[in-house]
């Protein structure tokens, strides 16, 4: 059974959601669609792969920020929630990049 | 600022002597879902890094996606983005106590999710028919050795392994997301629908298709959901809808990285 404090927090969060503007959500949705269209356009530009990857990942990060911030309501959470969750996630994902130098080493060896 | 956002005297009950204030200033179900999503991010992160590792280290990495595949994947992206919009509107409707709006938006979200799965299955079937396959996939009867991707599976097996691993894991998440939303929206009424979907998916797919066996995910989901709804029947409230929404948006978020990295970066320009 849920205790009173949990129910009170839930009702406070629901109260916040009641005041969110529908127009904001439509703007975010439209921006995400436009960014997707830009990505598809870039796919047909025969660009140098490293440059294209940089632009595409930049656009993906913008899209991820919009989804997390507005659709997942992270923008409206307390700062402790934002910082603890996002910094730990970014740190862990960044640590995985340790494998990439090895991938470039294999490429330079010419191994198939 | 969590303490300021969460007074000890809430709903007329002084909880300060019993509970510490929430570290994240929100309710425990939501924190639980965020922790799950953070751990799931690492799963997808590992799969995306594995794909990228192969992409960098193998000089003859295939670029198999013709414009039909790109158009297909773009429509799939549109479905997911639209489903995120309907989901957030469903969360808002639930918070406002609008039960009809909540139900309609949840069903719209599920419809977009099903559209995504169908298009994705179509894309997979096309690639498998052209010879891109994993060794565990049953042999396609009458498949010609001259099919477009037969050599790709032999010379760069990492492509099929990472492509099917990454997109298959995502498709599984979308499928379970649709089931999750179905339970939140329709509760027990969703169980017979789920069994019917399983039967359709199982019987309508040919025996050599991976979806013929993959359809059993729906059967397992139906059994697990039946058990949950039997053990703990409840009316799902606005908080439950919001937590389900977090999961759904996460599925959308992951696709925002899969789409450019896997599809756009492997476009076949002719």
Tell me the pLDDT tens digit for each residue of B16-49: 556 667 778 888 899 999 999 999 999 999 999 9
Residues A51 and A18 in one domain: yes
Render pLDDT for B131-167 as a digit per residue (tens, 0 to 9).
888 888 887 777 666 666 777 777 888 899 999 999 9
CA geometry: angle A18, A24, A28, nearest 5 deg:
130
What residues are paired with B165 via a beta bridge?
Answer: none
Residues A87 and A69 in one domain: no
Residue A100: partners with Cβ closer than 8 Å, 6 or more residues away:
B49, B52, B53, B56
**Given this model, what pLDDT does residue B61 score?**
85
What is the spatial distance between Cα B45 and Cα A95, in angstroms, rounded to a whole number? 11
Chain B residues in contact with A100 (beta carbon < 8 A): 49, 52-53, 56
Chain A residues in contact with B263 (beta carbon < 8 A): 43
Which ipTM score applies to this complex? Answer: 0.86
Residues A6 and A56 in one domain: yes
- Write out residues 37-56 of A within 8 Å (CB-CB) of B: 39-40, 42-44, 46, 49, 52-53, 56
Of residues B117, B105, B107, B109, the one with CA closest to residue B82: B109
Provide the number of structural domains found in chain A. Answer: 2
What is the spatial distance between Cα B265 and Cα B259, in angstroms, rounded to a whole number? 9
What is the spatial distance between Cα A36 and Cα A59, in angstroms, rounded to a whole number? 8
**Given this model, what pLDDT does residue B64 score?**
81
Domains of chain B: 43-266 (1.20.120.80)
Interchain CB contacts (distance < 8 Å): A and B: 189
For the CA atoms of B190, B170, B42, B194, the dihedral, rounded to the nearest 10 degrees, stands at 10
Would you call B58 an interface residue with chain A, using a CB distance cutoff of 8 Å? yes
**Residue B139 exposed, middle or buried by CB count within 10 Å (0-12, 13-18, 19+):** exposed
Chain A residues in contact with B159 (beta carbon < 8 A): none
What is the spatial distance between Cα B181 and Cα A107, in angstroms, rounded to a whole number? 45
Is residue A78 over pLDDT 70?
A: yes
Residues A58 and A93 in one domain: no
Residues of the domain holding A112:
79-112
Residues A68 and A45 in one domain: yes
**Given this model, what pLDDT does residue B7 score?**
47
B269 to A46: CB separation less than 8 angstroms, yes or no: yes
Residues A17 and A61 in one domain: yes
Q: Which residues of chain B have pLDDT under 50?
A: 1-10
Residues A73 and A92 in one domain: no
The dihedrals phi and psi of B209, each to the nearest 5 degrees, come to -80, 135
Is residue A110 over pLDDT 80?
A: no
Residues A11 and A61 in one domain: yes
Provide the token pair at A13.
Answer: 């969060």
Is residue A29 over pLDDT 90?
A: yes
Would you call A80 an interface residue with chain B, using a CB distance cutoff of 8 Å? yes
Contact B64, B152 (CB under 8 A): yes
Residues A72 and A86 in one domain: no
Residues A88 and A59 in one domain: no
Mean pLDDT confidence for A43-71: 92
Would you call B267 an interface residue with chain A, using a CB distance cutoff of 8 Å? yes
Residue A25, CA atoms < 13 Å, CB-side half-sphere: 21
Residues A23 and A70 in one domain: yes
Phi-psi region of B268 (alpha: psi -120 to 50; beta: other; left: phi over 0): beta
Reported as type and span, the H/E element at residue B88 is: helix B67-95
**Given this model, what pLDDT does residue B4 score?**
43
Q: Which of B256, B257, B261 to probe by mutation at the A interface, max A CB count within 10 Å?
A: B256
State percent of chain A over pLDDT 70: 88
The full DSSP string for B213-233 is: HHTHHHHHHHHHHHHHHHHS-
**Residue B7, helix vs strand vs coil:** coil
What is the spatial distance between Cα B129 and Cα B143, in angstroms, rounded to a whole number? 7
Residues A66 and A87 in one domain: no
**Given this model, what pLDDT does residue B136 score?**
82
Q: β-pairing, B9-10 with B13-14?
A: antiparallel
What is the spatial distance between Cα B245 and Cα B259, in angstroms, rounded to a whole number? 21
What is the spatial distance between Cα B102 and Cα B242, in angstroms, rounded to a whole number? 11
């Amino acid at each position: 059974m849920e205790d009173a404090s949990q129910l009170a927090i839930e009702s406070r969060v629901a109260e916040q959601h009641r005041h969110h503007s529908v127009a904001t959500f439509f703007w975010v949705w439209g921006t995400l669609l436009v960014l997707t269209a830009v990505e598809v356009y870039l796919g047909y530009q025969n660009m140098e792969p490293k440059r294209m990857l940089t632009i595409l990942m930049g656009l993906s990060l913008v899209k991820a920020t919009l989804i997390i911030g507005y659709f997942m309501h992270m923008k409206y959470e307390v700062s402790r929630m934002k910082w603890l969750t996002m910094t730990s996630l970014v740190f862990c994902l960044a640590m995985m990049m340790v494998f990439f130098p090895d991938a470039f080493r294999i490429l330079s060896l010419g191994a198939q | 600022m969590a303490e300021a956002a969460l007074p000890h005297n809430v709903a007329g009950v002084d909880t300060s002597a019993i509970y510490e204030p929430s570290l994240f200033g929100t309710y425990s179900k939501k924190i639980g879902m965020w922790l799950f999503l953070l751990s799931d991010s690492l799963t997808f992160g590992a799969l995306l890094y594995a794909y990228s590792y192969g992409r960098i280290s193998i000089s003859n990495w295939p670029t198999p996606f013709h414009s039909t595949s790109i158009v297909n994947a773009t429509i799939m992206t549109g479905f997911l983005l639209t489903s995120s919009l309907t989901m957030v509107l469903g969360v808002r409707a639930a918070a406002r106590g609008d039960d009809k709006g909540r139900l309609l938006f949840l069903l719209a979200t599920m419809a977009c999710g099903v559209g995504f799965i169908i298009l994705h299955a179509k894309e997979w079937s096309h690639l498998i028919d052209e010879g891109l396959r994993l060794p565990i996939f049953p042999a396609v009867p009458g498949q010609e050795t001259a099919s477009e991707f037969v050599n790709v599976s032999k010379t760069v097996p990492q492509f099929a392994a990472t492509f099917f691993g990454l997109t298959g894991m995502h498709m599984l998440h979308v499928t379970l997301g649709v089931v999750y939303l179905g339970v939140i929206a329709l509760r027990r009424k969703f169980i017979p629908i789920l069994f019917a979907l399983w039967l359709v998916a199982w019987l309508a797919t040919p025996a050599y298709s991976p979806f013929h066996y993959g359809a059993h995910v729906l059967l397992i989901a139906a059994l697990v959901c039946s058990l949950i709804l039997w053990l703990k029947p409840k009316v799902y409230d606005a908080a439950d809808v919001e937590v389900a929404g977090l999961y759904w948006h996460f599925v959308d978020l992951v696709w925002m990285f899969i789409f450019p990295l896997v599809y756009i970066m492997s476009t076949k320009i002719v």
